[in-house]
């Protein structure tokens, strides 16, 4: 069988003080006809990245409302994950050739995982390109309804890569995207839009007193009496950490005491992450005010919470982005957020109302400088940001969207 991932327990009722009145009752009403239904989510890694964080909340909540929900992870070698990372970049639009040899590796591992996939489920939800060919090789046995869930920006994919993957997506009953634009020519087939979400009760997002966050940040060499810019994201060229360093250097010319933290979680399905980490460290050079940290340094969810809660400005300067959950995380904490004007970030940030959208390194530096010099200007904006996340991007809304989708399929 594929690797089974254990998750903890959660109670939907614990979210009652956070969400709007009546939402808990609405969710339980939607779930009633689905009680006992078997659901399995299948992806490529058990740690690292927003999808994994979503699963640790979504699957326990599905169980709490009566679904028999599971999480399974496919098996793959470094060779396979190098191929799927190349496909990931190509589907984002990179000029990368997916050679016949790479296609063969991708399909061989998908076939092997399909042969290992067991169980009788009512809904099989396959996440992202890595296991997308499972349905092709497995067939519908073991799942009455098959769903493909895309978490990346496929609005302008490399045409050759899209042509290769598209036939394996067509047989699914429905495809889920963050935005309609991501569906491309699959928009004419059964598809739906479900944005991702954050868990307001997770260790990463529960309220943290400023003094506690300062103590934690100090352990990683941050001078808590000086201003701090922070970006939390994978070490990936699409997140543009090199551009963030360049923007920080422009700010530092005016605010010499400013510091920068770049924080990531290294994932098992992203072998490119370590290569890009080396590039980031080289680009940072001998500037000891740049702190490049990841989970192997002991930075987990609590530490990310501390950095997001204690920083002066949060940045997510992506140049391509499926969604960017860290934007909603920071907005939920009432922090001023600067995001790249790409992908799913404009779904979260309404420019100059609850955050800032930028298109260049210079714009990013200019907004960051303004926020450091006039922090009071962001206070009213932070209240709007938190409420916008409450209405649109919490786990309860995400659960409700899945329940509605399952009901529509039945």
Give per-residue pLDDT as tens, 256-286: 999 999 999 876 667 777 888 999 999 999 9
pLDDT digits (tens, 9 = 90+) for 308-344: 999 999 999 999 999 999 999 999 999 999 999 999 9
Average pLDDT over residues 88-107: 95
pLDDT value of position 141: 80
- Burial of 144 from C-beta contacts in 10 A (0-12 / 13-18 / 19+): middle
pLDDT digits (tens, 9 = 90+) for 34-86: 999 999 999 999 987 889 999 999 999 999 999 999 999 999 999 999 999 99
On the question of pLDDT at 126 being above 90, the answer is: yes
On the question of pLDDT at 122 being above 80, the answer is: yes
pLDDT value of position 55: 97
Fold for the domain defined by 210-392: Rossmann fold (3.40.50)
Q: Which helix (H) or strand (E) holds 31?
A: helix 23-31
How many other C-beta atoms are found inside a 10 Å radius of the C-beta of residue 282?
9
H helices present in 204-271, as ranges = 210-219, 241-254
Contacts (Cβ under 8 Å, ≥6 apart) of 159:
none
CB 231 within 8 A of CB 264: no
Structural domain boundaries in the chain: 3-197+394-409, 210-392
Q: Do domains 3-197+394-409 and 210-392 have the same CATH topology?
A: yes
Residue 259 and residue 244: Cα distance in Å, rounded?
12
pLDDT value of position 314: 98
Query: Is residue 370 very low, low, confident or very high in pLDDT (cuts 50, 70, 90)?
Result: very high
pLDDT value of position 404: 98
pLDDT value of position 275: 84
Fold for the domain defined by 3-197+394-409: Rossmann fold (3.40.50)
pLDDT digits (tens, 9 = 90+) for 386-395: 999 999 999 9
pLDDT value of position 241: 97
Q: Which of these, 327, 368, 333, lies nearest to 345 by C-alpha position?
A: 327
pLDDT value of position 188: 66
Strand locations in 276-405, DSSP E? 290-294, 313-316, 337-340, 356-358
pLDDT value of position 39: 98
On the question of pLDDT at 367 being above 80, the answer is: yes
CB 395 within 8 A of CB 389: no
Least confident residue range of 21-25, 184-188, 212-216, 343-347: 184-188
CB 5 within 8 A of CB 46: yes
pLDDT value of position 268: 60
Whether this prediction's pTM lies above 0.85 is answered by yes
């Amino acid at each position: 069988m594929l690797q089974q991932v254990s998750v903890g327990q959660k109670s939907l009722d614990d979210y009652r003080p956070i969400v709007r009145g009546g939402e808990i009752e609405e969710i339980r009403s939607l779930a009633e006809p689905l009680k006992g239904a078997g659901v399995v989510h299948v992806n490529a890694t058990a740690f690292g990245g927003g999808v994994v964080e979503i699963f640790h909340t979504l699957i326990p909540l599905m169980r709490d409302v009566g679904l028999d929900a599971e999480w399974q992870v496919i098996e793959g070698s470094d060779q396979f994950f190098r191929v799927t990372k190349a496909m990931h970049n190509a589907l984002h639009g990179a000029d990368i050739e997916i050679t016949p040899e790479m296609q063969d590796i991708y399909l061989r591992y998908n076939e092997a995982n399909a042969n290992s996939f067991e169980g009788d489920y009512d809904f099989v939800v396959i996440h992202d390109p890595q296991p997308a060919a499972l349905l092709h090789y497995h067939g519908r046995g073991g799942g009455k309804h098959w769903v493909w869930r895309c978490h990346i920006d496929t609005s302008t994919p490399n045409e050759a890569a899209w042509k290769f993957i598209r036939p394996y997506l067509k047989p699914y009953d429905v495809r889920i995207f963050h935005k309609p634009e991501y569906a491309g020519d699959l928009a004419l087939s059964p598809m739906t839009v479900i944005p991702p979400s954050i868990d307001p009760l997770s260790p990463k997002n529960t309220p943290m007193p400023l003094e506690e966050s300062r103590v934690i940040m100090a352990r990683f060499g941050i001078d808590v009496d000086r201003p701090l810019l922070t970006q939390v994201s994978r070490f990936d060229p699409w997140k543009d950490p090199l551009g963030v360093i360049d923007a920080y250097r422009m700010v530092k010319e005016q605010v010499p005491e400013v510091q920068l933290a770049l924080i990531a979680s290294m994932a098992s399905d992203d072998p490119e992450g370590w290569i890009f980490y080396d590039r980031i460290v080289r680009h940072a050079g001998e500037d000891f005010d740049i702190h490049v940290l990841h989970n192997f340094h002991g930075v987990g969810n609590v530490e990310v919470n501390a950095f997001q809660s204690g920083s002066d400005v949060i940045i997510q300067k992506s140049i391509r982005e499926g969604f960017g959950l860290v934007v909603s995380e920071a907005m939920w904490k009432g922090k001023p957020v600067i995001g790249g004007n790409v992908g799913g970030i404009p779904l979260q940030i309404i420019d100059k109302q609850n955050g800032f959208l930028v298109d260049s390194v210079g714009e990013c530096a200019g907004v960051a400088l303004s926020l450091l010099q006039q922090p009071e200007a962001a206070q009213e904006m932070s209240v709007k940001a938190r409420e916008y996340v409450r209405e649109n991007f919490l786990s309860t809304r995400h659960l409700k969207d899945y329940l509605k989708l399952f009901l529509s399929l039945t």
